[in-house]
Amino acid sequence: MEQIPILKIGDCLLVSIQVDMHDRLAMALQDDLTAKIVASRARGVMIDISALEVVDSFIGRMLNNIAAMSRVLDAVTVVVGMQPAVAITLVELGLALTGVRTALNVDKGLALIRRLIEGGEDEFDRRKG
Amino acid sequence: MIVEKDETMPVRNAEDVVRVRREVRTHAIGAGFNLVDQTKIVTAASEIARNTVDYGGGGMLRLETVRLGARRGVRLTFTDRGPGIADLKLALSDGYSSGSGLGLGLSGAKRLSNEFDVKSTPGEGTIVTLARWK
């Protein structure tokens, strides 16, 4: 059975998407990740999409959903490694990913997660505002 | 216009949508597209292919690499025999969705294409043609 692995590092979950996902696989990842946030009491989720050559509206919606669900479950989500061509295309597609925090790479993503966990939602609100 | 490469492939399920992305990428690379232009047409194709599966009940894709003078392009024609689109203007507007999506499929794919055309007859099906030029 196809599955995207979810690694636990301390209080964070790390997902690195290395394959071109079909829609059911993307939905399965969304469900797996939500269950694992609860089971592992994770505070942060990092999703590495540096290997993804295409992010269409379905994958974009999945990223949005994961960020929203993790927020409800008291965890923060950071998406890292988006390729420039993917970013350009996403904006033109009309998908702003407004609910998703991003970082350039895994190092910066981990640092952002630490800041967000320690600063709490106030930190997020301040950054947003 | 000269057609340099002409292929057809089925678009019946989620796995086919992944194959569509791969084949469109191959055509775009063959036509000499840069990475951003490849990504745009592959993303547009992914949106329309998903519509073909989810709303059209599956269909076919015709992929063509075409040349017009010195310009090369990729032209995609998605055909299904599904229920069709009753209100095309509404379906092409941002944020409208008859399903559970974000409603960016048609409108987003149109923005990512240089040429875009939808022909739909309720009860008979839908033909979406899009093209991007180098």
| Arithmetic mean of pLDDT, B97-106 | 70
Position B7 scores a pLDDT of 97
Mutation target among A18, A20, A30, A54 for the B interface, most CBs of B within 10 A: A54
pLDDT tens sequence across A54-93: 999 999 999 999 999 999 999 999 999 999 999 999 999 9
Partner-chain contact B17 A23, CB within 8 Å? yes
Mutation target among B29, B39, B40, B94 for the A interface, most CBs of A within 10 A: B39
Residue A122 belongs to domain spanning: 6-128
Read off the tokens for A34. 């939500």
| Arithmetic mean of pLDDT, A4-28 | 96
Q: CA-CA distance, A73 to A128, in Å (whole number)?
A: 20
Mean pLDDT of chain B: 93
pLDDT tops 50 at residue A129:
no
| A20 and B CB contact within 8 Å | yes
| A129 and B CB contact within 8 Å | no
Q: What is the CATH number of the domain that holds A10?
A: 3.30.750.24
Q: CA-CA distance, B12 to B9, in Å (whole number)?
A: 10
Mutation target among A22, A49, A82 for the B interface, most CBs of B within 10 A: A22
CA angle B30, A49, A94 (to 5 degrees): 75
The answer to the question of residue A55 being in a domain is: yes
The answer to the question of residue A14 being in a domain is: yes
Partner-chain contact A93 B101, CB within 8 Å? no
pLDDT tens sequence across B12-62: 999 999 999 999 999 999 999 999 999 999 999 999 999 999 999 999 999
Q: With left for phi above 0 and alpha for psi between -120 and 50, is residue B7 left, alpha or beta?
A: beta
| B105 and A CB contact within 8 Å | yes
What is the pLDDT confidence band of residue A120, given thresholds at 50, 70 and 90?
Answer: low
Instruction: Centre a 10 Å sphere on the Cβ of residue A93 and count the other Cβ atoms it contains.
Output: 24
Q: CA-CA distance, A36 to A30, in Å (whole number)?
A: 10
What is the ipTM metric for this complex? Answer: 0.90
Taking a contact as any Cβ pair under 8 Å apart, which residues of chain B between 13 and 72 contact chain A? 14-15, 17-18, 21-22, 25, 35-36, 38-40, 42-43, 46-47, 50
What is the pLDDT confidence band of residue B90, given thresholds at 50, 70 and 90?
Answer: confident
Partner-chain contact B40 A89, CB within 8 Å? yes
Look at residues A105, A88, A124, A119 and name the one whose alpha carbon lies nearest to residue A46. A105
Give chain A's domain count: 1
The answer to the question of residue A25 being in a domain is: yes
pLDDT tops 90 at residue A14:
yes
The answer to the question of residue A43 being in a domain is: yes
The answer to the question of residue A1 being in a domain is: no
Beta partners for residue B3, in sequence order: B66
| A88 and B CB contact within 8 Å | yes
| A2 and B CB contact within 8 Å | no
Phi then psi for A36, rounded to 5 degrees?
A: -75, -30
Tell how far CA A54 is from the center of its chain: 15
Could you tell me which CATH number the domain at B2-133 has?
3.30.565.10
Rg (CA), chain B: 14
Position B102 scores a pLDDT of 59
